[in-house]
Chain A
Amino acid sequence: MPTDEIVISLKDVNKWYGTFHALRDINLDVRRGERVVVAGPSGSGKSTMIRCVNRLEEHQSGIILVNGTEVSNDVKAVEKVRRDVGMVFQQFNLFPHLTVLENLTLAPIWVKHMPKAEAADIAMKYLERVKIHEQAKKYPGQLSGGQQQRVAIARSLCMRPSIMLFDEPTSALDPEMIKEVLDVMVELAEEGMTMVCVTHEMGFARTVADKVVFMADGQVVEMNTPSELFGNPKEERTRQFLSQIIRH
């Protein structure tokens, strides 16, 4: 269960795309072991926010700290943060020119300077955990979407991150494959991994999350435990969004 140690902290973070104000004064703390689900309508800045955490997007004002390191223009600091923070993307983004195993060992070999055999051992261990080790020698193009996303999760885990970011991990999947990916994520949560997860899977949020953050128009509208936020939303905007989701 979450400790008191804050591992991600966003203070008054702002971001603009040209004249479009994408993030407005975002304040958010994530504790070690905490599972945070970020929800909200599309275009509300959810993805932008978590992409700022590992500097895939630049914020223009405010402070982002990850394990005490400030995310800034300093390349070394950013590389340190990225080694500590795993990320799973909506489109999987597996490297199509490498086998599943090579996808997993690439970063341990080149970033952590790990011997190839050792990296492969670790990779196989994680592949077994996501139940896909028979496919190690295949190429990503030969796998189904759900399998690819599980490989992508394993790929991030191989770097032994202390935090995992999920950017709509199930949105690009066919319905019958969503469960296999969610199962892996639930298992990960049960092991105590710190997770920030942008998703539309409200069932997942309800069962797993310690905290649900609702965002709209680049702002954090409301933040609470799942039972409170879903059962007793304080803001009109939240209520509106929830009613739309439930109707579908």
Chain B
Amino acid sequence: MAMVAGIGWFLVANTLTNLNARHIATGFGFLDREAGFGISEHLVPYLPSDSYFRAFEVGLLNTLEVAVIGIVLTTLLGLVMGIARLSHNWLVARLASAYVEAMRNVPVLLLLLFCYSLITVSLPLSRNAFNLFDCIFLSNRGLRVPAMIWDDSAVMVVSTLALAVAASFLVGVWARRRQEKTGRYFPVLWSSLGLIAGLPLIAFLATGAHLSFDVPHMAGFNFAGGSTVSPEFAALLLGLVVYTGAFIAEIVRSGILAVSYGQTEAALALGLSRMQVLRLVVLPQSLRVIIPPLTSQYLNLVKNSPLAVAIGFPDLVSVANTAINQTGQAVEGVSIIMGVYLAISLILSFLMNWYNKRVALRGGR
């Protein structure tokens, strides 16, 4: 105990002396000062004249953007690959294992650098961009897509889409109630798809079949108009998703294998179809095996996202890094980084634990 305290005091004393010697003020006062550096991608308005605090906010939002989109995509990829590895189709199973083995045995950073080079070196220059229908352009400056212009008609279409999503949710609830009462089954999936595709289409036609887009076009050496997915963002997302997906595939695979085949046999013997067996018997049981390791893979994805620094995507760590270099507030900068990641870790673990409790086996052995 005394030793730990002694070491702690020694380190704090040294740090204070050193900071004094370098004329660096301690504390978070610097957050109010003008940042003075630009950030290439921001989800909220940002100018170099904004404060450091604002810069950190922008970085944090970028980190969260990558984390949320990355988690969704990597879950889908991992699910598909994990099931593919168990496929009866020999070729599909082999291809999926090859993917998993390749990804699990190389550093994620190498993957990121490779993806980044792929985009910036191998894709054509803006003026020779891959051109899809004259409105989507893929070049070494990233992906340029049309942006919707928010006129009345667009608002109508988008709000009916939201309405349709809500409606199909209600249909799901109603269908379940009705099945419980009468036993009759209602095709929820198809009717929901119909609603989601149909309602906005009706709205689109009703408002005069017209939506306006801001279509990108060449202006000088680069595109103008539309919205962009930057090479940095694309490379970071691609690398993280493809890398983490391999680990999730393994988790999904072992989760499904963990449910004994006797469960499937018993369900089949009762007359359930293959899809029903998967949905009603196997998946609910594998979920409780899958979720704890899945949580740590999600956390890994989030904790790998600061590798953005290596390819120049302005996430929280890279913003903090710039701020530290400018102000010398190393202790504060690093504490902010660590605090934010700890908070993300705790919140994500909490959410996943909560979900796990809901699916967990009650009274299990």
Contact = CB atoms under 8 A, between A and B. Distances in A.
Do A and B have CB atoms closer than 8 angstroms in the complex?
A: yes
Interface of A: 54, 56, 75, 79, 82-83, 85-87, 89, 91, 93-97, 106-107, 109-119, 138-142, 152, 155-156, 159
A235 B180 CA distance: 56
A112 B183 contact: yes
A110 B280 contact: yes
A25 B260 CA distance: 31
B364 A141 contact: yes
B361 A91 contact: no
B75 interface: no
Contacts, number: 96
Interface residues of B, number: 30
B8 interface: no
Nearest to A94: B266
B183 A56 contact: no
Nearest to A85: B269
A95 B263 contact: yes
Interface string B336-365: 000000000000000000000000011111
A166 to B, nearest CB: 12
B265 A93 contact: yes
Contacts of B90: none
Nearest to A143: B363
Nearest to B360: A97
Given A82-B268, A83-B271, A97 B183 contact: no
Contacts of A111: 270-272, 276
Contact of A89 (B181, B266, B281): B266
Contacts of A96: 285, 361, 364-365
A67 B269 CA distance: 16
Contact of A106 (B184, B270, B285): B270
A195 B327 CA distance: 84
B361 A155 contact: no
A79 B274 CA distance: 10
Interface in B271-294: 271-273, 276, 280-281, 284-285, 288
Contact of A79 (B262, B266, B273, B280): B273
A141 B180 contact: no
